[in-house]
Amino acid sequence: MQYQIGILGGGPGGYVCALRAAQLGLSVVLVEGERIGGTCLNKGCIPTKALVKSAELWREIQHAGNFGIQVGNASFDFSKVMARKDQVVDTLVGGVEHLIKAAKITYVKGWGQVREAGKIEVETESGPESYEVENLVVATGSVPARLPIPGVDLPGVLSSDEILEMTELPERLVIIGGGVIGLEFASIYQEFGVKVTVVEMLPSLLANIDEEIPKRMTPLLKKSGMEIMTKTALKEIRQDGSQLMVVVEDAKGQKEILADKVLVATGRKANLRGIDSESLGLQTERRAIVVNQKMQTSLPNVYAIGDVTGGIMLAHVASMQGIVAAENIAGQPAEADYDAVPSAIFTYPEIATVGQTEQALKASGRKYKASKFPFSANGKAIALGETVGIVKILADEQGTVLGASIMGPQASSMIEELVLAVKKGLNAEDLVYTIHAHPTLPEAVMEAAHGILGKPLHLA
């Protein structure tokens, strides 16, 4: 049987593309070598957020006395924390499998290979199979990047995938990389009492967001007991008895850090497994597939979406790209728009951003306004006992919102109002004159918008 769309990869890009294509009446075959949901559902977004919730609950229990609640001799069982994580993942994987079945999508479990554009060859448990497709969508995602450093292959040196399989807490954890992945794991394990050291080669943590946020965040992490080492390069990891010795180097010379486990969280790279790009004549750049805004590759009727394109490696971007690809294949012109892509970082406190950063606006020479409002002046934040952080809005001289950053409670949910503002080119005045329920955290967004127009109301 020939399918109108064949999708290689069932992550948040691939399975969303399949669902949208099925909605549009197209016949779809979806091939996935592991579990449906890809890295996000199985080894990334979802399992880490399950762990974040357990860590958050443990933190709240430890501070329950501040709220007049006595909990006695509380404790946690880390193996059960990890078991709950697995249960959450299984529930969501099952949900996606149900959606795929209900949409009458042909789902093939096996490793796919593409040697010619109109055919997907699959190695399944029962043997080889092949599927003829009119349009091919490559959604093979990404894999953890490995550093060319001596010792990174030693037992106990883990990728972001492998650390999710641990059922016992290490006493000391060294994390190589102070980006989103590294800091999320650092926050989780620090909360459970692990001695965490973060090693970052760049001058600051979270280098790609508004620079004010990591400047505010770094002292908070240090205060919690985490050791932060910036401008520090990893030189070597070696075995030291039953432990690991991490050798790093900064401006003052080399240092050695003893660890039980080492997490290498230095980013991810496009996964071209199963794609013979050279034989196909498929254009790639830096080992990623080149696409246009319609998600079309250099080959007719071949599309690529998600991390394999080497762009913004976020699950929600992959899902949007999957919808764009499906709609173009169905004859409904669509283009990917990256002007208002939110990013959420589940540290403590949470961080969320969208649009322009202040350093980018300065570098461009564009005139702008910046306004900040602290959660310490927000009634709901005070009631929650979560007063650390700010809402920061950047706007042009006319007040049009260009970007925003939030560090504080529920930042990942609060950012959506500002994503819409950036997406639709709203003015700060639009936010000010939108009535916000009281008492709520989003009132901090309204107050920051007041600051673009003049001055926040509830700030002396």
SS3 88: helix
State how far the Cα of 388 lies from the Cα of 195, in Å rounded to an integer: 23
Helices (H), 103-211: 180-191
Closest CA to 392 of 244, 211, 221: 211
* 299 close to 280: Cβ distance less than 8 angstroms: yes
Backbone angles phi, psi at 121, to 5 degrees: -100, 130
Q: What is the dihedral of CA 154, 158, 162, 166, to 10 degrees?
A: 90
State how far the Cα of 197 lies from the Cα of 349, in Å rounded to an integer: 18
Q: Which residues are catalytic?
A: 438
Which token pair is 458?
């509830």
Which token pair is 326?
């499906």
CA 69 to mean position of chain CA atoms: 34
For 428, half-sphere exposure in the C-beta direction (CA atoms, 13 angstrom radius) is: 30
State how far the Cα of 17 lies from the Cα of 96, in Å rounded to an integer: 13
Residue for token digits 């490696």? 313
State how far the Cα of 322 lies from the Cα of 6, in Å rounded to an integer: 12
Taking 3-state DSSP, the helix, strand and coil percentages for the chain, each rounded to the nearest 5, stand at: 35, 25, 40
